[in-house]
Amino acid sequence: MTTPLRKDAARNWERIVAVARALVDEGTPLQLNDVARRSGLGVGTVYRHFATPEALLETVATPGLEALIAHGERALADADGWRALEEFLTRTVEAQVTDASLAPVTAAPANALPRTAELTRSLWSTGTALLDRARAAGAVRPELTPADLVPLMCGIAHAVHVHGDATPAARVDTAHRYLTTLLEGLRTTPPTA
Amino acid sequence: MTTPLRKDAARNWERIVAVARALVDEGTPLQLNDVARRSGLGVGTVYRHFATPEALLETVATPGLEALIAHGERALADADGWRALEEFLTRTVEAQVTDASLAPVTAAPANALPRTAELTRSLWSTGTALLDRARAAGAVRPELTPADLVPLMCGIAHAVHVHGDATPAARVDTAHRYLTTLLEGLRTTPPTA
Amino acid sequence: MTTPLRKDAARNWERIVAVARALVDEGTPLQLNDVARRSGLGVGTVYRHFATPEALLETVATPGLEALIAHGERALADADGWRALEEFLTRTVEAQVTDASLAPVTAAPANALPRTAELTRSLWSTGTALLDRARAAGAVRPELTPADLVPLMCGIAHAVHVHGDATPAARVDTAHRYLTTLLEGLRTTPPTA
Amino acid sequence: MTTPLRKDAARNWERIVAVARALVDEGTPLQLNDVARRSGLGVGTVYRHFATPEALLETVATPGLEALIAHGERALADADGWRALEEFLTRTVEAQVTDASLAPVTAAPANALPRTAELTRSLWSTGTALLDRARAAGAVRPELTPADLVPLMCGIAHAVHVHGDATPAARVDTAHRYLTTLLEGLRTTPPTA
DNA sequence: CATGAATGAGCCTTCATTCAT
DNA sequence: AATGAATGAAGGCTCATTCAT
């Protein structure tokens, strides 16, 4: 599809994404000029690769999204529909509170890159499938729709953010507590039966 | 306490807050210069009344906060501890998804105005009291702490935001669904049986 | 001449000048708004008493100027013309490096207040008289004119400023060194005859 | 050392400095926005080249500083130590009262540009060397230290400023008179005997 | 007379984006 | 392709001064 990049161009692409990843990790807002300076490249080069800050952010988020989708697809193989959903959601919130690039990309009403839009849809349909299976098993309250999954995960991530834990580990902990509570409310059948 | 404003100053104060309210309602970020232009006042006047955008936003949020606190205090009189908590949280998320000034002020780790800090503390302690009463009645899972209430409400508000309903009414609806689910997960005892 | 102030007005006047004095001493630039706030008075009141920052500064400088003039007049009684001039100049530079209000007022090409203009002229004519007497005694090089006295004193004060001593005492010391050197260059006769 | 500028960038650099030079000459305080407007360039361009007004002023002052240093180094070759010092100081005060960019840069306790700091140190050490040689020849009073040279030159420049001559030629004249007097006070040996 | 709210020109600075080299 | 200089809209904030109360 896309023409493969020349070797030097590919190297620059990698460098830009690496720098962006570092900035995201330290909580610095992504500014393309800034990224250019830190990667030792010209602004123009960065703009050639990433037309907007959003495009760059989405690129940074891509591996995380792919991992979540991959997990979701594996989860579909789990015979226990409820457990599969539970694990999928757990992974999702863990990722959100651990990788700062995911929350904004997931919550955005639209994506800058087609690739990201595709991933987002994938994630959504995987979630839908998992939810349907859990629901078919009679394990989930009927009022929850697939369109609620992403918002709810973003909501938990945001709640964790507001809670204000300093370390990633603490954030993961809080996320687990919140998700557990929510799942408790989602499920119809008793935990172990 | 605070010296009452001169009549003309009071009029300007009102006008500024009204303009800010309108901007908040239409989702425009508050910028003091902008507020000045739209209210037909000098920048200096706006700065005299509100030193920072945060101070103005908090002022806009104040009535909403006060109403929530008032409700919370009335709720404390309810004999049914669980229902009191439930209604309080319902009002809170309704307010959050209805009045755009509330979410940022509530989620902020610190407030610009002492008055707001005080209100925030009030709200928090009312919530704590309601939670304690519900817990004393054995109605709430033990792992939830008072420090989780605000984050969870903000989380729900954020989830509703991500869900993307266009009208306030739809947002209130979604908020109810989410809160109901969460409460289901919080409660130990069956609904009313 | 000037109508004496009402008692409360006089009290305000004093308070303003005192605050200004304090600001000058701590090196803060005089801003009438600032002075008003610190003295607990309205801006309008400060403006009524002092139309501009310069007027206030000159008022702050007035006692210092008067003291210098008084000294100059006493010095005119000294039989030793050279010594009289020397002492006058010494007092002048000491005052300049000690009282931050004097340098700008003295160096200004024009004054805001008539009273200050008058004092400035007085100081200048006293200096002239002292210089003339010293010159008559054959003690001073002919190329120095009365119009040079003020600039030279300001120059020394500025040199001391650039030298950058931290304490007033050190500044007085440096000023003495500089003045001594200059006087050495001004005088025709040997120090002790 | 520093990467040479691209041709267009160099042209802009020149234009900015030229405009700044003109502003300095007409006594207007340097403001970067103002410089941008007058040179027909974007504000950002001016900021890119000169981060602060001080940096620009120092750049304007640079040629003058270099010329003084060059002269000082030539003066060190003069066999007559006193004459060498005298000529150096003469050039210095002439420059100060002729080029308005020099006084503030020289008098500043710290410089914005490393290059300027270096020049300043150079000038200072040249002056020190000249003073030492003159002192070694027994021509200078012992109480004068190298740290006094810069302040004294600034002081003379300031005295000339206060004297208020309208034309550069008149200022140079006054500066000569003041410097002559000061040198008279500095020297131990009779002029030429 | 005193007050202090209001004014708004004016300065500073940042940053997303374009385009000549 | 890469570069990075240039752009300039946009926003933030201060402060001397006026004038209604």
Q: B85-121 pLDDT, tens per residue?
A: 999 999 999 999 999 999 999 999 999 999 999 999 9
The amino acid at residue A170 is A
Kindly indicate the confidence band of residue D138, based on its pLDDT and cuts at 50, 70 and 90: confident
The CA distance from A91 to A85, in Å, is 10
Q: Does residue D192 surpass a pLDDT of 60?
A: no
Lookup: tokens for B78: 């309810």
Q: Percentage of residues in chain B with pLDDT exceeding 70? A: 95
Model pLDDT for residues C73-97, shown as the tens digit of each residue: 999 999 999 999 999 999 999 999 9
Helix (H) or strand (E) run with residue A162 in it: helix A146-163
Does residue C54 contact residue C112 with C-beta atoms inside 8 Å? yes
Query: Three-class SS of residue B145?
Result: coil
Query: Three-class SS of residue D140?
Result: strand
Partners of A178 on chain B (C-beta within 8 Å) are 148, 151-152, 155
Strand F bases, protein C-beta under 7 A = 1-21
- Going by C-alpha positions, the residue among D147, D142, D168 that lies closest to residue D157 is D168
Model pLDDT for residues D139-168, shown as the tens digit of each residue: 798 889 999 999 999 999 999 999 999 999
Residue whose pair of structure tokens reads 């006087």 in the numeric block: C183
What are φ and ψ of residue A14, in 5° steps? -60, -45
Mean pLDDT of chain D: 92
Q: How many helices (H) and strands (E) does chain D have?
A: 9, 0
Which residues of chain C fall below pLDDT 70? 1-6, 189-193
Q: Is the dihedral of CA B113, B116, B120, B125 positive or negative?
A: positive
Q: Is B44 exposed, middle or buried (0-12, 13-18, 19+ CB in 10 A)?
A: exposed
Q: How far is the CA of B8 from the C1' of F20 (A)?
A: 9
Of 1.10.530.10, 1.20.1070.10, 1.10.357.10, 3.40.50.10090, the CATH number of D62-186 is 1.10.357.10
| Nearest CB partner across the interface for B150, out of A141, A151, A162 | A162
The CA distance from B65 to B111, in Å, is 13
| Nearest CB partner across the interface for A183, out of B156, B161, B185 | B185
Query: Three-class SS of residue B140?
Result: strand
Query: Three-class SS of residue D189?
Result: coil
Angle at D84 between CA D80 and CA D89, to 5 degrees: 155
Query: Three-class SS of residue B69?
Result: helix
> What's the confidence (pLDDT) of residue A192?
44
> What's the confidence (pLDDT) of residue C7?
72
Q: Is C193 exposed, middle or buried (0-12, 13-18, 19+ CB in 10 A)?
A: exposed
Kindly indicate the confidence band of residue D190, based on its pLDDT and cuts at 50, 70 and 90: low
Shortest distance, CA A97 to any CA of chain B (angstroms):
13
Measured distance between the N- and C-terminal CA atoms of chain D, rounded to whole angstroms: 51
Query: Three-class SS of residue A96?
Result: helix
Does residue B53 contact residue B16 with C-beta atoms inside 8 Å? no
Lookup: tokens for D88: 């150096």
Q: CA dist A111 to A55, A106, A121, B106, Å?
A: 8, 9, 11, 28
Model pLDDT for residues B29-49, shown as the tens digit of each residue: 999 999 999 999 999 999 999
Q: How far is the CA of D144 from the C1' of F7 (A)?
A: 53
> What's the confidence (pLDDT) of residue A76?
95
Q: Is the dihedral of CA D67, D69, D73, D76 positive or negative?
A: positive
pTM above 0.85, yes or no: yes
HEC readout, chain C: CCCCCCHHHHHHHHHHHHHHHHHHHCCCCCCHHHHHHHHCCCHHHHHHHCCCHHHHHHHHHHHHHHHHHHHHHHHCCCCCHHHHHHHHHHHHHHHHHHCCCHHHHHHCCCCCCHHHHHHHHHHHHHHHHHHHHHHHCCCECCCCCHHHHHHHHHHHHHHHHHHCCCCHHHHHHHHHHHHHHHHHHHECCCCCC
Q: Does residue D3 surpass a pLDDT of 80?
A: no
Q: How far is the CA of C62 from the C1' of E16 (A)?
A: 56
- Going by C-alpha positions, the residue among D70, D61, D55 that lies closest to residue D100 is D61
> What's the CA dihedral at A125, A131, A133, A134 to 10 degrees?
170
Kindly indicate the confidence band of residue D186, based on its pLDDT and cuts at 50, 70 and 90: confident
Q: Taking residues D45-58, report their average pLDDT.
A: 94
The CA distance from C79 to B20, in Å, is 77
Does residue A82 contact residue A139 with C-beta atoms inside 8 Å? yes
The CA distance from C45 to C29, in Å, is 19
The amino acid at residue B55 is A
What are φ and ψ of residue D25, in 5° steps? -65, -35
Partners of C144 on chain D (C-beta within 8 Å) are 177, 181
Does residue D58 contact residue D21 with C-beta atoms inside 8 Å? no
In this complex, the residue with its CA at the shortest distance from the C1' of nucleotide F17 is: C47
Return the residue in C135, C162, C176, C180 with the most chain D beta carbons within 10 A, the one to mutate for interface testing: C162
Kindly indicate the confidence band of residue D189, based on its pLDDT and cuts at 50, 70 and 90: low
Q: Is B142 exposed, middle or buried (0-12, 13-18, 19+ CB in 10 A)?
A: exposed
> What's the confidence (pLDDT) of residue A116?
95
* Rg, chain A, Cα only: 19
The CA distance from D39 to D26, in Å, is 16
The CA distance from C109 to C99, in Å, is 19
The CA distance from B156 to B163, in Å, is 10
Contacts of D184 (CB under 8 A, 6+ apart): C141, C184, C185, C186
Model pLDDT for residues A84-103, shown as the tens digit of each residue: 999 999 999 999 999 999 99
CB–CB contact B159 A155 (8 Å): yes
Residues C127-163, buried b or exposed e (16+ Cβ, 10 A)? bebbbebbbebebbeeebeeebbbbbbbbbbbbbbbb
Q: Does residue A173 surpass a pLDDT of 60?
A: yes
CB–CB contact C186 D186 (8 Å): no
Neighbours of D52 (CB within 10 A): 13
Domain boundaries, chain B: 1-50, 61-186
D142 CB below 7 A from strand E atoms? no
Model pLDDT for residues A22-79, shown as the tens digit of each residue: 999 999 999 999 999 999 999 999 999 999 999 999 999 999 999 999 999 999 999 9
Q: Is the dihedral of CA B142, B143, B149, B152 positive or negative?
A: negative
Does residue A153 contact residue A93 with C-beta atoms inside 8 Å? yes
Does residue D68 contact residue D92 with C-beta atoms inside 8 Å? yes
> What's the confidence (pLDDT) of residue B3?
61
Lookup: tokens for A71: 């997990």
Q: CA dist B70 to A9, B1, B15, B123, D65, Å?
A: 62, 21, 26, 9, 72
B14 CB below 7 A from strand E atoms? no
> What's the confidence (pLDDT) of residue A139?
78
> What's the confidence (pLDDT) of residue B188?
75
| Nearest CB partner across the interface for D154, out of C150, C158, C181 | C158
Query: Three-class SS of residue D187?
Result: strand
Q: How far is the CA of B46 from the C1' of E10 (A)?
A: 17
Lookup: tokens for C46: 């400060």
> What's the confidence (pLDDT) of residue A65?
97
Q: Searching chain D, which residue's CA lies closest to the CA of residue C144?
A: D177
HSE-up (13 A, CA, CB side) for residue B68: 32
The CA distance from C20 to A36, in Å, is 51
CATH of domain B61-186: 1.10.357.10
Q: Where are the alpha helices (DSSP H) in B26-113?
A: 32-39, 43-49, 53-75, 81-98, 102-107
CB–CB contact C107 D143 (8 Å): no
Q: Which nucleotide is nearest to B15 (CA to C1')?
A: E6
Q: Does residue B137 surpass a pLDDT of 90?
A: no
Strand E bases, protein C-beta under 7 A = 1-21
Q: Does residue B144 surpass a pLDDT of 50?
A: yes
What are φ and ψ of residue D187, in 5° steps? -80, 145
> What's the confidence (pLDDT) of residue D193?
40
Q: Does residue D124 surpass a pLDDT of 70?
A: yes
Q: CA dist D137 to A128, C16, D134, D186, Å?
A: 97, 56, 5, 13
| Helices D146-163 + D168-186 axis angle, to 10 | 140
Fold of D1-50: Arc Repressor Mutant, subunit A (1.10.10)
The CA distance from B111 to B109, in Å, is 7
Return the residue in B92, B163, B171 with the most chain A beta carbons within 10 A, the one to mutate for interface testing: B163
Q: Taking residues A139-146, report their average pLDDT.
A: 88
